Structure 1
Amino acid sequence: MPPIAVAELDLDLDGPDGPGGSVLSFGPALGGPPPGAGDIFALVRLRGRPAATVLGHVRADEDPAEVLTAVFRARKSPYEPPVPEAPAPAEPVTALAAPPRTTVVVATRERAGQLARALDSLLAQDHPDFRVLVVDNAPVTTATRDLVESRYAGRVDYVQEPCPGLAVAHNCGVAAADGTVIAFTDDDVIADPHWLTALTTPFAADPGLGCVTGLILPARLTTSAQILLESHGGFAKGFEPRLYDPASPPADEPLFPFTAGSFGSGANMAFRAEALRAVGGFDPATGTGTPAKGGDDLYAFVRILAAGHRLRYAPEALVWHHHRETWQDLRNQAHGYGAGLTAYLTAILVRRPALLPALLAKLPRGLAHARAITAHRPDPAGESAPGTHGARAHPWPRDLSRLERRGMLYGPLGYLKARVRIRRQARGEALGEAGIRRRAVRRRS
């Protein structure tokens, strides 16, 4: 698969036939258009608001903006409702209410180069009142600390969490955070300048809101693994805002709230601090870096909804994600996603047994859903499948589907292994502290 350039196409709506003038800029990881002919994957914005993604092939003698605009206006995807040609301008989210005080938590481990790129984008946010907190998870070098203390002194806070695991690191961030809202993103993203404002303002307008998630698009599409993942939807959840309310379950999601993967992803999420702490934060036996391999974000989504809070998906809150680059990365990711899915379900049942009857009632459909999300989606004719959102479809390799299903079988075991490891660590720490106290008593006597 040849590389695909990533771009943004901003259209106005002043023309009599729909989108008129356009501004094309290339993505956060690229300095300009690809040389000669090639494919371009573009986020289309209508007056600044994310509206769709399109994929266009541009010849050397063509204007990329004109080609992509034509693709956008001609698209007839059954999975992506067409944008009205002349909608009323949407009221900016910042005009509805002032965004609340927020702590942005970035958990990282030995990826100082990527982290710097993410921090630069976070410090450029237009949010009026926020703090950035880096959680250095089980470090083996001082690279992350050195980066924060030398390059971001006074602008980024640093804490260290010695116990490995993404959920543990996030809980460390929760403990150190201040403010009404705690936002989470990863060290491999570049945040749009309006990301944090769009992600957190809904909390000010809705006191019953417990969580907000946002849109995740690819920062680069240079390898076959990256292109394949994005052609099957990547991490994007569409361009329509959506509210999930446990008091009024969505009719089109009979498995609600157990299909937590449809709500959002951990690279782009925020929680009302009070609500997240009330449900105990993240389960430390889930997440990357543990035997469970994932599921920490899904666990938190379901716990928030089960506690009666609403969850909102806000596509205006955009981050650009650097997808895994190699086939082995993608294989590991496929297995990890499968494991994380069943690990989080196991965690929910272990910690909230009262949810078991509801899950059992929905289990038959749940198994069908699990099979569907791991099946290769495009048909032999190459038609786009749900979730491709403008990317050209490529057949999903059967071995990746098998790996994901194996991960599902492994997930409960991985979760239990992680819980055992945490208990052993806690016992070891307790014994160590007891030994220190005994030695101190002997010295005093």
Structure 2
Amino acid sequence: MSRRSRTQEEIRRFLSIGAVQVAELDIDGEDVSLRPGPGSPPVTAGEVFVLVRREGRPVGTLLGRVPEGVEPRAVLSELARADFGGAAYDARRTDDARRRADEAWRPAPAPPLTSVVVATRERAGQLARALDSLLAQDHPDFEILVVDNAPLTTETRDLVERKYGERVRYVREGVPGLAVAHNRGVEAARGEVVAFTDDDVVADPRWLTELSAPFGADPGLGCATGLILPARLSTPAQVLLESHGGFAKGFTPRTYDPGDPPADEPLFPFTAGRFGSGANMAFRTSVLRGVGGFDPATGVGTLARGGDDLYGFVRVLAQGHRLRYTPRALVWHHHRDTWRDLENQAYGYGAGLTAYLTAVLARRPALLPAFLARLPRGLAYARALTAAREAEGGGAPGEHATRSHPWPGRLSRLQRRGMLYGPVGYARSRHALRSADRRSR
């Protein structure tokens, strides 16, 4: 079969992927509550992607099917108890078992003053949804900054001033690029911690508290990331992306310490994509400023296509600061809708990956020996993961069902092309910024 025919077959299979409902199931002793995901209708018969919470805390996801004429809560509750083990939810647990289960989630000290930066460009409708969720946070002391990046209209400014007034600060950044916009937010931030999320998310009410509290508990912490789950799975593109992990990094809290490198990360700290994503990250403001912020030649909106968040993670770790991943800090992300979106995303991810590596090594040449020393093991590890992925195909959201959505070869090829382009894109992006700077003088 020719490559063109294979791609056509992949698209045909892609278009046959059905929609999946999104819901939350909270089990608190004998009480079980079921509610739809943010912006979703009530759960009915059919496939459902479920975030399972225990006493409000995210503990895992599952994919279940609700038969016609059956009460959804009962079906999904039984699946959750079977999937995650009855002992985790059984109201008859002993006090000692409850104490051990809760010990890993011991509350941190009160979170510090935190600035939330949301970079946006001409997406006022989505932005309003995100800001509404941010203003509902239970964090005791925070501010919200909207950075309007290279706006073409006054739509974003009008929204912020008309609907939110003094509750949200409006900042304009005329130079296009996500990293430039984020740096403008860092410059304007007043908080000890600066958190970042996107204009296409809905933040869980405890998101900001859970993301910023670790900074109060660990003076050596430079960065924190959190859990990202799909807000909806209504198109084939959204289901396919989440079938292969989406943006989620699991439900186990983890601290990455450059003083004690993880044995399962051969390229640490250069495997930045394992740590988290830019839609859910926070930095100690002084640390991020100390490393010069994000590289302005990286990120969406530049010729480099991405990699600004990964650059930030590695720069902070390379300075000796720890990074904390905490799944209790949850945002719901609105994935892209179409096949073309996935193509652009695959190419952009590949480009951003090698662009950020180029940026790190260009700005910190002293890291090159460490990178080269780790490269052989890292490449072997990556090849093994790729082979396993292609052999097994894709999984259903949450990976609790038969692996039924293979990752299209077309998208893998686009990602590899993007990786080849990344260093070139970064060089072109830096040149464009220098040229613009000279013209502005």
Do Structure 1 and Structure 2 share a fold, with TM-score over 0.5?
yes
Corresponding residue of 2:440: 429
Change (3 A) 1:229 1:372: farther
In structure 1, which of residues 17, 21, 26 is the aligned counterpart of residue 31 of structure 2? 21
Question: Using the alignment, how far apart are the partners of 1:162 and 1:373 within structure 2?
Answer: 41
Residues 343, 306 of structure 1: CA spacing in aligned structure 2 closer, same or farther, 3 A cutoff?
A: same
Match of 2:117 in 1: 105
Deviation at 1:49, TM superposition (A): 0.6
Residues 394 and 406, structure 2, Cα contact 8 Å, conserved in 1 = no
Helix, strand or coil at the partner of 2:326 = strand
Classify 1:73/1:48 alpha carbon distance in 2 versus 1 (closer, same or farther; 3 Å). Answer: same
SS of the residue aligned with 1:377? helix
Residue 20 of structure 2 corresponds to 4
Contact 1:298–1:344 (CA under 8 A) maintained in structure 2? yes
Equivalent position of 2:78 in the other structure: 70
Contact 2:149 2:177 (8 Å CA) reproduced: yes
CA contact (8 A) 1:184 1:268 kept: yes
- Work out the CA distance in 2 between the residues paired with 1:139 and 1:371: 42
Preserved CA contact (<8 Å) 2:395 2:406: no
Please tell me whether residue 326 in structure 1 is matched to residue 342 in structure 2: no
Are the structure 2 counterparts of residues 168 and 391 from structure 1 closer, same or farther at C-alpha, using a change threshold of 3 Å? farther
1:32 pairs with 2:15: no
1:121 pairs with 2:129: no
Deviates further, 161-170 or 22-31: 22-31
Residue 49 (structure 1) aligns with: 57
> Does structure 1 residue 134 correspond to structure 2 residue 142?
no
Given candidates 228, 237, 245, the residue that maps to 1:225 is 237
- Matched position secondary structure for 1:22: strand
Q: 1:419 to 1:152 in 2, by over 3 A?
A: same
**Percent of matched pairs sharing the same residue:** 66
User: Residues 335-354 of structure 1: matches in 2 within 5 Å?
Assistant: 335-354=347-366
More helix as a share of residues: 2
Q: CA deviation at 1:321?
A: 0.1
Paired residues for 1:363-402 under 5 Å: 363-371=375-383, 377=389, 379=391, 384=395, 388-390=398-400, 393=403, 394-402=405-413
What is the letter of the counterpart of residue 33 of structure 1?
V
1:71 alignment partner AA: L
Residue 67 of structure 1 and its aligned partner are, at CA, apart by 1.6
TM-score, with structure 2 as normaliser: 0.90
What is the CA distance between 1:378 and its match in structure 2?
6.2
Find the aligned partners of 1:160 and 1:424 in 2 and give their Cα distance: 21
Q: Deviations over 1:30-82 (max 9, x none)?
A: 13124xx21000000011110000000111211212222222233389xxxx9
Give 1:3 deviation, angstroms: 1.1
- In the alignment, which residue of structure 1 is the partner of 2:225? 213
Q: 1:362 Cα shift?
A: 1.2
* Counterparts of residues 248-327 of structure 1 (less than 5 Å): 248-327=260-339
Name the amino acid aligned to 1:353. Answer: P
- Answer whether contact 2:298 2:306 (CA < 8 A) is retained: yes
Query: Would you say 1:417 and 2:428 are equivalent positions?
Result: yes
Taking structure 1 as reference, are residues 395 and 155 closer, same or farther at Cα in structure 2, changes over 3 Å only?
Answer: same
Task: State how far apart, in whole Å, the 1-side matches of 2:381 and 2:175 are.
Answer: 34
Listed as ranges, the matches of 1:117-266 within 5 Å are: 117-266=129-278
Partner SS for 2:282:
strand
Name stretches of at least 5 consecutive residues in structure 2 with no aligned partner: 1-16
Change (3 A) 1:315 1:40: same
Task: State how far apart, in whole Å, the 1-side matches of 2:267 and 2:164 are.
Answer: 44
The match for 1:17 is none
Distance 1:104 1:375, change over 3 A: farther
Contact residue 121 and residue 192 of structure 1 kept, 8 A: yes
Q: Matched residues in 2 for 1:389 and 1:211: separation?
A: 28
2:41 counterpart letter in structure 1: G
Counterparts of 1:391 and 1:106 in 2: how far apart (Å)? 35
Would you say the 8 A contact 1:374–1:401 is kept in 2?
Answer: no
Amino acid at match of 1:177: A
- Cα deviation code 1:369-418 (max 9, x no counterpart): 444566682646x6849x94446631000000000011111000000000
Q: Is the 8 A contact 2:119 2:181 kept in 1?
A: yes
Task: Provide TM-score, normalisation by structure 1.
Answer: 0.89
Does structure 2 retain, via aligned residues, the 8 Å contact 1:376–1:396?
no
Q: Letter of the 2:50 partner, please give it.
A: A
Partner of 2:69: 61
**Corresponding pairs, count:** 416
Is the CA contact (8 Å cut-off) linking 2:61 and 2:398 kept in structure 1? no
What is the alpha-carbon root mean square deviation over aligned residues? 2.1
Match of residue 88, structure 1, among 83, 98, 109: 98
Tell me, yes or no, if structure 1 residue 404 matches structure 2 residue 415.
yes
Distance apart, 1:255 and its partner CA: 1.3
The alpha-carbon distance between structure 1 residues 195 and 326, as it changes in their structure 2 partners (threshold 3 A), is same
- In structure 2, relative to structure 1, the CA distance for the partners of 1:8 and 1:59 (3 Å cut) is same
Q: Contact 1:378–1:384 (CA<8 Å) still a contact in 2?
A: no
Give 1:91 shift.
Answer: 5.8
Look up the equivalent residue of 1:248 and give its one-letter code: D
Contact 1:375-1:401 at 8 Å conserved across structures? no
